Amino acid sequence: TSPDQAYAKKLKTIKFIAVGAGEGQETSAETMALNPILGALDYRLRTYGPLKGKYELKWVDTLFPTADEGLSGVASGAGEMILTGPHYMEALEPAFKLVEAPGIFESWDHFRKTMNTPAWKAVHERMAKEKGITILQWVCNIGDYYLYTTKGPVVTPDDVKGQKIRYPGGEGFSKALKEMGTTPISLPYTEVVTALQTNMIDGLLTDMFGAIYFYELPRYTKYCVKAAWAIQPICFAVNTQWWESLPDGDRKAMQDVFDRIDVSQFFEKATQAIADDWAANPKTELITVSDAELNLWQKGMKAGAAKLLKDADPKLVEAIEASR
Amino acid sequence: MRNATSNKISSKAKNVFESACGIMLFVAVTISMGEIVSRVVFKTSIDLFFDFSVWITVWALLFMAGPLLPEGGHIGVDFLRTRFSGKLRWGMEIMIALVTLVYGAFITWGSIQFLQQLYQRQSIFPRSIPILKWIVELCVPIGMFIFTVYALICLIRAVRRKW
Amino acid sequence: MELIQYVGFVVLIFLFLLGTPLAVAFSVGSIIIMIFSMGFPVPNVAQLFFSTINSYTLLAMPFFILAGNLLLRGGGMVPLRNFMNAMVGHWPGGMAVATIIFASFLGSISGSAAACLAIIGTVVVPILVQSGYDRPFASGLTVTAAELGMLIPPSLFFILFGAYNRVSIADLFMAGVGPGILSAFLMSIVAIFISKRRKYTTRENASWAEKRKTLIAVIPLIIMPFIVLGGIYSGIFSPTQAASVSVFYAIVLGALIYRELTWQGFMESLVDTCKLSSMIYIMFIGGDLFGKVMGYIGLPQLITDMVIAMELGPLGFLLAVEVMLLVMGLFFSSIPMVIIVLPLFMPSVIELGIDPVYYGCLAILCSLIGEITPPIGPQLWIAAPICNEKMGNIAREAWPFLGAQVLALFLSTFIPGIVMWLVYLMR
Ligand code: NA
Ligand code: NA
């Protein structure tokens, strides 16, 4: 063994659990968001005095088959760190169901304000204490959910009636889509591209980044209706037990990275740029809706979320309303 | 005489068990077919159609893993093993059965621990009707426990047999 | 690599050679590395046990096997075989050619090579032996012909590849047709050549009346691919769901048309399917754990980086990838290869302007060949008990047919039209 290797042996490995993306790739909004932050953390671990020589950051992308299982793995200590979102945390903490339900959060700012209310801070603490997941930072909104469809033009919910629309799970979406007279289909994401090509589905709900980088929708769906259904925030999370076992100084030095880097502005601009491309592309059509038309869409969305809001802890709902 | 009767009973029990697994698989196929009918005819489709067909299949297949052992259903290469006989072969067979037993017991033990975690966290599969994960994943400890029992039977047989 | 990682590999190889069930050998070796080198907690090993097989896409496999078993017991296979024989049985090597055509047809209704293998091995091998072909030849032919079932749509591997890389499965299916037919054609030439040289007997030319009679008997079966593929391409059901449609169609055929499917046969089909699928699922877990360990150590990445670093043009890149996949295919089983190794090249594929469908089809053809090549050839292992022949003998007789498949692979690489013409036609 060389001295380098002997030295490396002493490092404590921090495993960052990634799902479905190779190290250094930027093929999704998630990787675009986390690469600069993880890069900064890695640099700090290697060079910043108090941390130097103690930790190494390792990107682990082949262990867990799904983001859901990855989060579960971090909760029980199979990895230390992960980028995740309410969609997955719902498996651990039912309150997060509200975050990606249609018609509830209107913007990233609204969401961030809400997360800082005492009621929602309590949710965070409860999750850390009872479920083993501590959120270090809400990173950004990787894009609002829009409706993409092959059949159009779609301007109001009436135009989408009778279409088969794939939604990413969640009863709020399902109810809202039904309310608008469509057939909601919760097809596994792996089947989406094929289903679009064979017309098994007419359209889907997804975000701008997913539309471009994940599904390459311009090849399949012509229309994007620019009425936001829901936001899609993502966060850096760690295994609570590991995080609290760190010496205070080390923990603070790592937390600093997350507190200092804000990529959310970048994502707002990038999403807008993709929308502009969608409008400029002669093969695709970006449908912008007037306030009156947006109201019609929101009526359907709110109807979908009504039951969720009714069943939720009133304090959480109050906090959402108060933060508007 | 008594031995023959008990053998008959155990082979009948095995048949019933295997048939039950088979029926589970058929139920899974039917549910998958059900989604097509529900979507095309009734214009409605829920996520659990997809999940239930997967889960029921996984249950059936994990349960079947054990009964497969004594019939040599889990393939391995035998070009080396079949060249030996006597004490050495006996030792090899015991070693195989032992490793298989340890593997089964290890997974059973590990999955019980993992299920405990899922239970404590009350983790769910977030679907249109939330489903508790630990209930769905109960098939791992049960299936692998059955596997371990059969591995033990194989070990006993291997010890007794002369090569 | 650390010492404990070598220990894990040595244990794996030792258990493998000892004859431990493959699922166990691969799992134990991998688990040692996961726990002692990767610091993976024991409960999470069990977590992977469930999460690996909790996959909707994978479901197509047991369902297609079930459809195959039901067809086998439903009575439709004998008329089909008779039809093939009546058509080409009088040629030198005609029965062998009929087997290849039979396999291609089965391929168009089944998406699993294991299912095709089970049917051909059970129905055709005994007939071939009775007609004077020797068993090793019949078995080698069978195991390679069954791979055609994976090239000709529907196909589990295309479903897996498309699902994990977000490439249209409908396109991939079309891409498989050309190389599938080409492979069948080249394999037929090899079969005829060997049959002539070994002087395998042929049957008399069937009369037109017999030909007509056998054709009529086989019509309900012949429309099955149109229902399965038609349903997929008209958007009524997904490729994965096509497997369950096949099951119900097979029940209709066996119960109402050929009327040989009994309650007992039905239950046997279910139990047999559970057994074969259980074995494959448990083996898949072992293979997947092994793949995860390899991924963690970084071996596949290392190899792909090497190929990418050679900075070849599209054609050179594809050839280099193919050679590499064929070599890896000797030692890997194909499902982990399709899920872990194939996606590693996707960024380069896109960068080089290669159509992902084209790459997917060629890469899967490589993986399929690897399913048979020893030492790690799952299809070969399954074939031994089904064909009732020694693995070594099957492998020996399979080589010429594998050669034909490799030739088809390289022809498809140099002439992209073979793969892509139907894709462009359908798009
Ligand atoms: Na096929
Ligand atoms: Na191989």
Interchain contact B81–A (C-beta under 8 A) = no
d(CA A157, CA C316): 51
B101: closest CA of chain C, how far (Å): 10
ipTM for this prediction:
0.89
Tokens describing residue C70: 């039901």
3-state secondary structure of A145: coil
C221 vs A148, residue with greater confidence: A148
The answer to whether A75 faces chain B, any CB pair under 8 Å, is: yes
Q: Given an 8 Å threshold on Cβ–Cβ distance, is C240 in contact with A187?
A: no
Number of residues written out for chain A: 324
Which residue, among C161, C75, C148, C164, has the nearest Cα to C112 in the 3D structure?
Answer: C148
Across B129-144, average pLDDT:
95
Read off the pLDDT of residues B32-52 as tens digits, 9 standing for 90 and up: 999 999 999 988 888 889 999
The alpha carbon of residue A191 is apart from the nearest alpha carbon of chain B, in Å, by 11
Calculate ∠ Cα C174-C176-C179, nearest 5°.
130
The β-bridge relationship of strands A164-166 and A133-141 is: unpaired
- CB within 8 Å of A70: residues ≥ 6 apart: A17, A18, A19, A63, A64, A79, A82, A84, A88
Q: What is the pLDDT of residue A48?
A: 93
Q: Which of A132-141, C95-104, C393-402 has the lowest mean pLDDT?
A: C95-104
Residue C225: predicted pLDDT? 82
**Residue C205 gets which letter from DSSP?**
P
Rounded to an integer, the average pLDDT of C115-144 is: 86
- pLDDT score recorded for residue C365: 93
CB pair distance less than 8 Å for C235 and A214: no
Residue B21 has pLDDT above 60, yes or no: yes
pLDDT for residue B2? 54
Residue contact B50–A187, C-beta within 8 A: yes
Rounded mean pLDDT of C325-348?
Answer: 78
Calculate ∠ Cα A307-A311-A313, nearest 5°. Answer: 135
Which residues fall within 8 angstroms of residue A26, CB to CB, at 6 or more apart?
Answer: A32, A35
Residue C207's pLDDT is 87
**256-315 of A, contacting C, C-beta below 8 A:** none
Question: What confidence score (pLDDT) does residue C84 get?
Answer: 79
pLDDT beyond 90 at C340: no
Are the Cβ atoms of A63 and C292 closer than 8 angstroms?
Answer: yes
Helix (H) or strand (E) segment spanning residue A223? strand A223-226
> Would you state the pLDDT for residue A4?
46
Q: pLDDT value at position C336?
A: 67
Q: Which residues pair with A233 in a beta bridge?
A: A141
B69: chain C residues, CB-CB within 8 Å? 21
Say if CB C94 and CB C88 are below 8 A apart: yes
DSSP codes joined into one string, C78-97? HHHHHHHHHHHTTSTTHHHH
SS3 C302: helix
Q: Which of C31, C42, C50 sits opposite B140 (nearest CB)?
A: C50
CA distances from A116 to A136, A232, A320 (A): 13, 17, 10
B:60-99 residues touching chain C, CB 8 A cutoff: 60-62, 64-65, 68-69, 73-81, 92, 95-96, 99
Helix boundaries (H) for B43-123: 47-68, 86-121
Check CB contact of A169 with chain B, cutoff 8 Å. yes
Cα(C334) to ligand 2 centroid in Å equals: 8
Percent of the residues in chain B that have a pLDDT greater than 90, as a whole number: 69
The overall average pLDDT reported for chain A is: 91
pLDDT tens digits for range C282-317? 988 988 888 888 888 887 777 777 877 888 889 999
Phi and psi dihedrals of B36, rounded to 5?
-60, -50
Residues 6+ apart with CB under 8 A from A273: none
Q: What is the pLDDT of residue A6?
A: 45
Bridge partner residues of A15 (DSSP)? A58
H/E run at residue A197: helix A192-197
Does residue A253 or residue C388 have the better pLDDT?
A: A253
Distance separating alpha carbons of residues A223 and A239, to the nearest angstrom: 41
For residue B79, list chain C residues with Cβ-Cβ distance below 8 A. Answer: 391-392
Answer yes or no: is pLDDT of B141 > 60. yes
- Spell out the alpha helix ranges (H) of C199-262: 208-222, 224-233, 239-252
Q: Is A78 on the interface with B (CB under 8 A)?
A: no
For chain C, the straight-line distance linking the first and the last C-alpha, in angstroms and rounded, comes to 47
Q: How far is CA C256 from the centre of its chain?
A: 30
Give the pair of three-digit tokens for residue A194: 């094929």
Q: How far apart are CA C238 and CA A256, in angstroms?
A: 48
| A–B interface: beta-carbon pairs under 8 A | 47
pLDDT in tens, C50-73: 998 998 888 888 998 898 889 889
What is the predicted pLDDT for the residue at A1?
A: 40
User: In this structure, are residues C366 and C322 in contact, taking their beta carbons and an 8 Å threshold?
Assistant: yes
Q: How far is the CA of C154 from the centre of ligand 1 (A)?
A: 4
Residue A102 dihedral angles phi and psi, to the nearest 5°: -70, 145
Do residues A192 and A169 lie in contact, with contact meaning Cβ atoms separated by under 8 Å?
no
CB of A225 closer than 8 Å to CB of A149: yes
Inter-chain CB proximity A195 and C235 less than 8 Å: yes
Angstrom distance (rounded) from CA C180 to CA C182: 5
- The Cα B3–Cα A180 span in angstroms is 68
The DSSP element (H or E) to which C119 belongs, if any, is: helix C113-130
Nearest CA in chain B to A166: B45
* 3-state secondary structure (DSSP) of residue A139: strand
Say how far apart CA A306 and CA C15 lie, in whole Å: 58
- Cα separations (Å) of A248 from A14, A257, C60, C229? 17, 15, 51, 62
Under the banding of pLDDT at 50, 70 and 90, the label for residue A247 is very high
> Could you tell me if A168 and C205 are in contact, meaning their C-beta atoms sit under 8 angstroms apart?
no
Mean pLDDT of chain C, nearest integer: 87
- Note every long-range contact of C391-395, with CB atoms under 8 Å and residues 24 or more positions apart, other chains counting: C391/B77, C391/B79, C392/B79, C393/C135, C393/C136, C393/C139, C393/C140, C394/C136, C394/C139, C394/C140, C394/C143, C395/C140
**For residue A5, is pLDDT > 70?**
no
Q: How far apart are CA C301 and CA C324, in angstroms?
A: 13
Helix/strand/coil for C267: helix
Q: Chains with 3 or more CB pairs closer than 8 angstroms to C? A: A, B
Ranges A288-292, B27-31, C34-38, most confident: B27-31
Amino acid at A187: L
Instruction: Give C-chain residues touching A213 at CB under 8 angstroms.
Output: none
Instruction: Please give the pLDDT value at position A9.
Output: 52
Angle at the Cα of C405 (from C403 to C411), degrees rounded to 5? 105
- pTM of the predicted protein model: 0.89
pLDDT at residue A319 greater than cutoff 80: yes
Instruction: Output B7 or C321, whichever has higher pLDDT.
Output: C321
Tell me if chain B has a CB within 8 Å of the CB of A164.
yes
Residues of B in contact with C54 (CB under 8 A): 54-55, 58
Neighbour-count burial of C139, counting CB atoms closer than 10 A to its CB (0-12 exposed, 13-18 middle, 19+ buried): buried
Q: How many CB atoms lie within 10 A of CB C372?
A: 27
- Residue A57 pLDDT: 95
pLDDT in tens, C80-120: 888 878 888 788 888 888 889 888 888 877 777 777 887 78
**CA gap C158, C361 in Å, rounded:** 8
Q: How far apart are CA C359 and CA A84, in angstroms?
A: 32
Q: Please give the C-alpha separations between residue C349 and each of A74, A194, C346, in angstroms, as whole numbers.
A: 33, 20, 5
Q: What length does chain B have?
A: 163
User: How many angstroms separate the CA atoms of A77 and A71, rounded?
Assistant: 10
| Closest among A192, A188, A151, B50 to C167, alpha carbons compared | A192
CB-based contact, B43 to chain A, within 8 Å: yes
Lowest-confidence pick of B119-128, C20-29, C374-383: C374-383
User: By CA distance, what is C240's nearest residue in B?
Assistant: B32
pLDDT tens sequence across B49-108: 999 999 999 999 999 999 999 988 887 777 778 888 889 999 999 999 999 999 999 999
Residue-level pLDDT at A7: 46
> Do the Cβ atoms of B100 and C283 come within 8 Å?
no
Give the chain A residue whose CA is nearest to the CA of B134. Answer: A91
- Residue A95 is predicted with a pLDDT of 93
State the pLDDT at residue C329. Answer: 83
Residues A139 and A263: beta-carbon distance below 8 Å = yes
Phi, psi of C213 (to 5 degrees): -60, -45
